[in-house]
Structure 1
Amino acid sequence: MAEASGATIELEQLTKRYPGSAEPAVDGVSMEIGAGETVIFVGPSGCGKSTTLKMINRLIEPTSGRIRIGGEDVTHMDPVKLRRKIGYAIQSSGLFPHMTVAENIALVPRMVGWSRARVRDRVEEMLDLVGLDPREFRGRYPRQLSGGQQQRVGVARALAADPPVLLMDEPFGAVDPITRDHLQDELIRLQHELHKTIVFVTHDFDEAIKLGDRIAVLRERSHIAQFDTPEAILTNPADDFVSGFVGAGAALKRLNLTRVRDVGVADFPTVRLDDPLQSIFDRLREATTTNELLLLDRRGRPYKWLRRGDLMRAKGSLARAGTLVGDTVTRDATLRDALEAVLTDSSGRVAVTGRRGEFTGVVDMETLLNSVHELLEEDRLAALEHRHDLEELRAPQTRAEQEGADHEPGERA
């Protein structure tokens, strides 16, 4: 089934006042978000970013202002009908615990009147899309899933009725850092396939850099401090408030702008868990370019790094041989993710995997360091150019001051 592409979102002087409050929670927010664009709201706690997000689907009713989606004014539309046209994913997934995975995903398509067969096919399609085997997961309950699996199902449910807009309110904030990195990569991959319009709230600026086409840095009451691309904000923050969010190490933060797929993903010799032991031993002994192999499990996923001598020391048993693969990255992971994975793994490289965890190649430390050096050099040249531009701007003023100093006191210039 063809997916609906994203829709434009226009906010016009959107304001929220709560009774008894001297100041509005959100004060006159205006912005335009392009169809298929991922925009991140980032700002301090209590600045109104979640309130602004929830006014888009009218979970919170605006006090004043207008909302247009795809050119249609939805400010006074039936809010229930509006929400059925907008996907919504929140922290801790928000799945109904008494419903199976399939029932959770099917909820909105059933509400809007899809046929049973179409709903069943859509559930299978969405589970496959988020990298979960439908046969394994459709009948499970949320309590039987890990935190990362629950979040994947939450995203599948939000996308099930094929909405053009997806709102995400700190959806990955409650999971561990490694799972969070993988969920972020999954969202990037999904967006490449689906081209939805995504509005995403986070307090984590690194997450904003990684995910956003543009970032809206919000002050109190959702006043926009800067609304620009991640690269523009990193290299040219609008003021001290934005600089505080960028923090130290802007050059290294730019590693979040480059993906593993953009650098050299290399082949690496592999063997499988069900290969005969003697053939694994022979490959290790005969290898000329490396003294190491990657052992894949029966599903083709990275399992262990095997080095010469491992099988001998482990007396020929794969159970005791080699070193478990500590972490992997996908092609949509950032270079920062890959660098962190390499630094925590003694192998000097990280395995790159596909959507179901299958091995696709490796990225090594040399490749990553070369990329870091290139980014640092780009920043050095940009700083020199900026300094030169400032000197050019100051030159006429300096000449004028010098000419003024050449005149005697009281002499007409």
Structure 2
Amino acid sequence: MPETSGNTAPSGASIRLENLTKVYPGSTVPAVENVDLEVHAGETVVFVGPSGCGKSTTLKMINRLIEPSSGRIRIGDEDVTDIDPVGLRRKVGYAIQASGLFPHMTVAQNIALVPKMIGWPKAKIKNRVEEMLDLVGLDPAEFHGRYPRQLSGGQQQRVGVARALAADPPVLLMDEPFGAVDPITRDHLQDELIRLQHELHKTICFVTHDFDEAIKIGDRIAVLRERSHIAQFDTPEAILTNPADDFVSGFVGAGAALKRLNLTRVRDVGVVDFLTATMDDPLESIFDLLRSGTHNELLLLDRNRRPYKWLRRGDLSRAKGTLARAGAPVQHTVTRDATLRDALEAVLTDSSGRVAVTGRRGEYIGVVDMETLMNNVQEMLEEDRLEALEHQHQLDDQHARRTQQEQEGLSGPGGPEGGTA
């Protein structure tokens, strides 16, 4: 679950949905019925539920892309149900699947769209575009003038988030924003969102059909039934350990204990330093490090200090004066906001037995190794075991009390043994 700093006041605004209902013309059955829900300022709330349950409709009513049939919407102290919907949408950031960027506009023009519409000065807009690109980890000099077709799917989604945040709205709505990208890119985009929220403290409402994604990014999760009826609205940990009913249990699925790996971040488990060298270092100095006997492996960084190759002592014989064929390329990295599950998957698919941890622009920070991860997994499983034992003891105590009460009732006045003659 994302963390927020206790010293920073939220820049988001609370959202209150009061008996919110949507009935489409020609239908007698509501698509959304009497939703009553509050999102705290600076909180990330995820709507998750089966297809067709109304989660996207509920989200779109918040910025009135879909007009509610009845009910109220309050953002902060303002009832926004009856104000100009266009003006409302300029105050609420919105990010969707496949980014929704305008293909005929450059990256800078896409990000500048809302600030320009609300009348920001040109100099302020220019500075804001650069600030937003830097915030989402894209080099302004490199991406400013590109068009969406010149970007990867992950880069487009980053620009989409930058555009949604450009006018500094207190509320950000996200409708399955990472659903159209590959799993590895999706993991990195989730980490990026967690990092951004750690810095910005916006109020985020996020729709997904992926419960693992909900666990990873949500402060609280609203599990929705048909017509957006709320089956359970609670923290990820509470839903994992105490689902409200069989419907929620079905969403949690098997392996709830392992799903808790999505609740712990890499930054919480001990990132350590590791022996490194860069491609600009003299070959002889790199070889000396490996020959010294103190280390039998090092991490080679590229010219931007990003992880490039794992070099082992045995690779020296294949170097032949160059590092081109020596070493094993780094296949996976994680950020400090990645989950233990992300890190464990990366370590298990990399022969090095560890994974490099990187910063916003991919720069090396440290490593997390298999031993550290497995120790944390063991601690988590032990906690689960102790909680299960405690729960069983409570059930046993309750059963013993009921049995004693039943026996006392049978033997007391009016019972078979204590009745009147």
TM-score, normalization by structure 2: 0.95
Unaligned runs of at least 5 residues, structure 2: 1-7
What is the deviation of 1:391? Answer: 2.2
Q: Which moved more, 1:377-386 or 1:86-95?
A: 377-386
8 Å CA contact 1:3, 1:194 repeated in 2: no
Structure 1 counterpart of 2:327: 322
| Residue pairs, 1:266-305, within 5 angstroms | 266-288=272-294, 290-305=295-310
Displacement of 1:22 after TM fit? 2.8
Counterpart check, 1:50 vs 2:35: no
1:370 equivalent to 2:375? Answer: yes
1:104 to 79, 103, 110: 110
Give 1:59-138 correspondences, 5 Å limit. 59-138=65-144
User: What is the count of residue pairs matched by the alignment?
Assistant: 411
CA offsets 1:352-373 (integer angstroms, 9 cap, x no match): 0000100000000000000001
The answer on whether the counterparts of 2:42 and 2:201 sit within 8 Å (CA) in structure 1 is: yes
Measured after TM superposition, the shift of residue 314 of structure 1 is: 3.4
Distance 1:308 1:194, change over 3 A: same
Does the 8 Å contact 1:214/1:227 carry over to 2? yes
Say which SS state the counterpart of residue 112 (structure 2) adopts: helix
Provide the residue aligned with 1:354 in structure 2. 359
Question: Which ranges of 4 or more aligned residues in structure 1 deviate by more than 6 Å?
Answer: none
Q: Which residue of 2 aligns with 1:21?
A: 27
- Equivalent position of 1:208 in the other structure: 214
The residue matched to 2:35 in structure 1 has which SS? strand
Q: For residue 152 of structure 1, what is the aligned residue in structure 2?
A: 158
Q: Which amino acid aligns with 1:305?
A: W
1:332 equivalent in alignment to 2:308: no
Q: Mean Cα displacement is larger for which, 307-316 or 18-27?
A: 307-316
Distance 1:96 1:85, change over 3 A: same
Structure 1 residue 284, shift from structure 2 partner: 1.0
Match of 1:261 in 2: 267
Quick one: distance in 2 between partners of 1:80 and 1:409? Answer: 76
Aligned-residue offset at 1:406: 5.4
State the Cα deviation string for residues 118-157 of structure 1 (Å, max 9, x = none): 0000000000000000000000000000000000000000
Change (3 A) 1:3 1:250: closer
Aligned with residue 9 of structure 1, among 7, 15, 19: 15
What amino acid does structure 1 have at the position aligned with 2:361? R
Corresponding residue for residue 180 of structure 1: 186
Q: Pairwise CA RMSD of aligned residues?
A: 1.5
Deviation per residue, 1:203-223 (Å, 9 max, x gap):
000000000000000000000
Matched position secondary structure for 1:41: strand
Cα shift at 1:309: 2.3
Residue of structure 2 aligned with 1:241, choices 236, 241, 247: 247
Deviations 1:87-131 (A, max 9, x none): 000000000000000000000000000000000000000000000
Structure 1, unaligned runs of 5 or more: none
SS across alignment from 1:293: strand
User: Aligned with 2:244: secondary structure?
Assistant: coil
Deviation, structure 1 residue 259: 0.2
Letter in 1 for 2:188: H
Q: Distance in 1 between matches of 2:56 and 2:30?
A: 14
Q: 1:404: how far off?
A: 4.7
For residue 386 of structure 1, the aligned residue among 382, 385, 391 is 391
CA distance in 1, matches of 2:153, 2:256: 31
Alpha carbons of structure 1 residues 223 and 202: separation in structure 2 relative to 1, 3 Å:
same
* DSSP-derived class of the 1:174 partner: coil
Q: Report if aligned partners of 1:311, 1:317 keep a CA contact under 8 Å in 2.
A: no
393-402 or 258-267, which deviates more: 393-402
Tell me, yes or no, if the aligned pair for 1:26 and 1:52 is still in contact at 8 Å.
yes
Q: Match of 2:403? A: 398
For 1:379, what is the secondary structure of its paired residue?
Answer: helix
Secondary structure in structure 2 of the residue aligned to 1:309: helix
Query: Identity across aligned pairs (percent)?
Result: 81
Conservation of the 8 A alpha-carbon contact between 2:63 and 2:85: yes
